[in-house]
Homo-oligomer: A and B are copies of this chain.
Amino acid sequence: MSNFDLIKELALQEQTKIVMLVMDGLGGLPLTAGGKTELETAHTPHLDRLAQEGICGLSIPIARGITPGSGPAHLALFGYDPLRYEIGRGVLEAVGIGFELGPEDVAARGNFCTIDQNGLITDRRAGRIPTEECAKLCELLQTIQLPDVQVFVRPVKEHRFVLVLRGKGLTDGIADTDPQQVGLSPLPAVADRPEAQPTADLFNTWLARAREVLADHHPANMATLRGIAKTPALPQMGEVFKLRCGAIATYPMYRGVAKLVGMELLPTGDTVASEFDTLREHFSNYDFFYLHVKKTDSYGEDGNFDAKVHMIEEVDALIPRLMELRPDVVAVTGDHSTPALLRSHSWHPVPTLVWSAHAGADAATAFSETECARGALGHFPATELMPVLMANALRLAKFGA
């Protein structure tokens, strides 16, 4: 019996409310040895108070040393074993631009690339064409029709686009057509099992037509497909946790992942303040809120230490608005770390606090990497955060007698 089954068995319907505030890429690193991280540099009196009153720890998104993408990192926060429930790249890319995937759709992540007169790839990213150019080329590709299926081509960013096929009996199980190095031809779409052959044939037909359509559009004169996937059948949070879940996020990808796990998407504005307004507005209608702050991660990726610090302070200043709603349980965490020093996602465990009237006692006196390392939550798998929140919300029955 997995822990997930256990939770489903023990989950109770109660009136308590849980708020999970996710500051994307929250964890950081000092710029110099012995210095302070972004979170430790930020002035965060309200978060510090929650840390004092509640308990702290460091969450491990996937496993020690593993740097997660946002998809698996969020699945883990929502309680899903990210190694068991994988979301294909095609699906993640589609979901990331807000494309509404149906259960039978097959989605691929597309790359425009450059091929020479012999058909060999000279640039796998077509010189990273501007996004506007990408959008025009996608309109051209949208003219390609296939028998008995609907075809959707949507631009993402620079050389990246999404291709979705919609029809009866389509499958995944088709290898990438990107050979991963220059000097080789794009690969055909190869089925890795006999049932996938008809769908592979459709992708190959589409690729042949794309080559014709794009022929005169150097450097984007060909395309490759990767991560061909269907929507995974994820258990729905409402059923597993007996929670009515509302998601507050501004970026499509996070809204997409929230939708895949069964949350309702709440309309919100572009600023963090407007996300907190949305929380207040809908507070009586849901049991669980996922509130996502994107820019902590974006500034980390930019290597902008100070901007990440200010973003954390902006969130801290909004904490009183959250607390005046009188939630029963509050978690503040990140999906992963994004140290400005590294300009990328990282493997570092993520500072996490859990506040409730009976969270427990520990020595953590502020919300920081260092304080979290000695908190009562210890180092814990991110997948166990939801059970801890459920317990604090008094929404789990006792196991055994």
A contact set with B: CB distance below 8 Å? 1, 3, 6, 10, 29-30, 33-37, 40, 52-53, 58, 62-73, 82-83, 86-87, 89, 92-93, 339, 341-342, 344-349, 357-358, 360-363, 369-370, 373-380, 384, 386-391, 396-401
Cβ contacts under 8 Å, A92 to chain B: 400-401
- Contact in complex: A361, B64 (CB < 8 Å): no
A89 to chain B, nearest CB (A): 5
Cβ contacts under 8 Å, A390 to chain B: 65
A82's contact among B29, B339, B400, by CB below 8 Å, is which? B400
Closest to A54 in B: B33
Beyond A6-B66, A65-B389, A66-B391, 6 additional contacts (C-beta under 8 Å) are A62-B399, A67-B398, A82-B399, A344-B398, A363-B374, A374-B374
- Contact in complex: B342, A67 (CB < 8 Å): no
**Given known A68-B398, A384-B65, A400-B68, contact A361–B391 (CB-CB < 8 A):** no
**Given known A52-B34, A400-B86, contact A66–B387 (CB-CB < 8 A):** yes
- Contact in complex: B348, A360 (CB < 8 Å): yes
How far does the alpha carbon of A373 sit from the alpha carbon of B3 in the complex, in Å?
A: 24
- Contact in complex: A33, B53 (CB < 8 Å): yes
Cβ contacts under 8 Å, A82 to chain B: 399-400
Cβ contacts under 8 Å, A376 to chain B: 58, 348-349, 369-370, 373
- Contact in complex: A398, B345 (CB < 8 Å): yes
Closest to A344 in B: B398
Cβ contacts under 8 Å, A362 to chain B: 369-370, 373
A342 to chain B, nearest CB (A): 6
How far does the alpha carbon of A70 sit from the alpha carbon of B67 in the complex, in Å?
A: 31
Cβ contacts under 8 Å, A70 to chain B: 401
Cβ contacts under 8 Å, A379 to chain B: 377-380
- Contact in complex: A71, B400 (CB < 8 Å): yes
A373's contact among B34, B374, B398, by CB below 8 Å, is which? B374
